Each structure stands twice: as C-alpha cells, then as structure tokens.
Amino acid sequence: MRQDYLEIRDLRVTFDGFVAVGGVDLTVLQGDLRFLIGPNGAGKTTLVDAVTGLTPATGSAKFDGVELLGKKVHQVARAGVGRTFQTASVFEELSVLVNLDIAAGALRNPFSLLRARRGVPASVEAALETIGLAHLRDRRAGELAHGQKQWLEIGMLLVQDARVLLLDEPVAGMSADERAQTGELLRTVARDHVVVVVEHDMEFLRAYADTVTVLAAGQVLAQGSYADVQADPRVQEAYLGPAHDPADEVA
C-alpha cells in the first residue's frame, strides 16, 4: 500500500529580519500521529502558515511530489493539504450538515451548491460518523459545544479530501471528556491521513502522540517518542529555562 508523507526541508520564514522558522526539516508519515510542541513563539503556527500558503517561506514543503511553497491557499488545499486555526472557523448560522456540504462542494462546481440536495453524499455521511456528529447533523453549528465545533472543522477537512491535516491547538479550551474524544478521533484519522497536531498539553500528547517533534526558537530541538523528548535535557531547558513560564512546564 502506498503511504502518504509530508516532507519539509530547510523551511525558513523571516519577518523583517526576525527568524521565526530557521531551517526546519520535518518528515511526517501517514499512520504516525505527529505532535508538534514547543514554547510560545517557537514558530509552530508560522510553520503551518508557511506550508499552507499564508506566509512566504523558503526551502521546500512537498506532498505527493508537489511543491507547496509558492502556492496560494486554495492551491495548497487542492493539493490535499488542509489546516485548522487556533479558533474554529465554521459557519455558525448553518447546520452541521450544510457546513459539511459546503466543504465537500467547495473545491468542485460552485453551482452544485445551488441545486436542491438529493440526499447526503457518502463522503459527508462518512465524515459525520467519523467526527461523531451524525446525531447533530441538523444542529446549527453556532449551538455546538466548543469541542464539537473543532470536530466539525476536522470533518470539513475530511470531506474536502484533505490527505494532510495540520491542526493548530485543536484541544485548547476543551473539557477532559472532549480531549479524550478528540484524541480517539485523531488516532482514527491518522490511520489514513498525514496528521500533525500542534499542542501544548503534555498529558494529552503522552496519551496520543506516536511521535513528537519539539520546536524551539524556530529550530527542531528534538524528535522521538513522548518518553524520549520528555527525558531530553534540551527539551526541559527549552521549557524550564530562564524565560520559564509555568504554563509551558514539562510534566
């Protein structure tokens, strides 16, 4: 079976001379649920922005043989690479189902959205099941719980046929129950997608990460299992060093 992967080489992003991402190499395989962690300002969001066409960058980011750098946001999406933002961006006034319909149609014929729906597309039905919102399909997205909105966003990426999912702090602000459900969802999705999860919470990644990449000051500091990186003195230094913020502490 062919296995998808995202391959980032020497990725660099500077803002007015300030190096936010300073030459990152990162390879993420389908089936290997990857967590990207690091102190605030490490460059995690900037890395995701660079790969998805929101921020100019140099180096290379390839998926399925296609160079992503230099592409526009919609071209990156069409190449199979989707992302979520730190704040959920669903259509609050529309139902769960219509949000998914729009996502499913967004990359196809815009007029298909104007046709009366002749039943729920199989991809939308499958996504509803995967994200656990089948019973809430007619609920207005704005009435969903915080966690459910994040799941809907993940569902929107699935129906867009994203094969790479870059998720920026998807469990921030979630309850313990929602976190556990999200962890299971990510595990399921990572079986047949390339998944990179930006996360702070060490308990969460201890439970769900296959591989952890630690970013600090725009560089990859360490990579390995949770146990490997947690025991790495350089990682402890990055989290517990002079600019130590208790919220970033390694448990």
> Which one among 3, 41, 72, 146 touches ligand ADP, defined by CB under 6 A?
41
> Distance between CA 145 and CA 131 in Å, rounded?
13
Q: Which amino acid is at 250?
A: V
Residue 248 CB neighbour total at 10 angstroms: 17
Q: Does residue 84 touch Mg ion according to CB under 5 A? A: no
Q: Does residue 52 touch Mg ion according to CB under 5 A? A: no
For residue 235, the minimal CB distance to Mg ion (Å) is 18
Q: CB nearer to ligand ADP: give 143 or 249.
A: 249
For residue 95, the minimal CB distance to Mg ion (Å) is 30
Beta bridge partners of residue 198, listed in sequence order: 36, 168
Q: CB nearer to Mg ion: give 47 or 68.
A: 47
Q: What are phi and psi of 186, to 5 degrees?
A: -65, -40
Q: Which does 155 bind (CB under 5 to 8 A by kind): ligand ADP, Mg ion, none?
A: none
- Is 126 strand, coil or helix? helix
Is the distance from CB of 54 to CB of 248 less than 8 angstroms?
A: no
> Which one among 30, 45, 148, 223 touches Mg ion, defined by CB under 5 A?
45
Is the distance from CB of 159 to CB of 191 less than 8 angstroms?
A: no
Burial class for 1, CB neighbours closer than 10 Å (0-12, 13-18, 19+) = exposed
Site for ligand ADP in 2-21 (CB under 6 A): 15, 18, 20
Q: Which does 183 bind (CB under 5 to 8 A by kind): Mg ion, ligand ADP, none?
A: none
Q: Does residue 183 touch ligand ADP according to CB under 6 A? A: no
Segment contacting Mg ion (CB under 5 A): 40-48, 144-152, 207-215, 220-228? Answer: 40-48
DSSP 8-class letter at 117: P
> Distance between CA 177 and CA 22 in Å, rounded?
37
Q: CB nearer to ligand ADP: give 49 or 101.
A: 49
For residue 50, the minimal CB distance to ligand ADP (Å) is 9
> Which one among 8, 35, 38, 166 touches ligand ADP, defined by CB under 6 A?
38
Query: Could you give the residue ranges of the DSSP H alpha helices within 20-159?
Result: 44-51, 73-78, 96-105, 122-130, 146-159
Q: Which does 41 bind (CB under 5 to 8 A by kind): Mg ion, ligand ADP, none?
A: ligand ADP
> Distance between CA 213 and CA 34 in Å, rounded?
7
**Footprint of Mg ion (CB under 5 A):** 44-45
**Footprint of ligand ADP (CB under 6 A):** 15, 18, 20, 38, 40-46
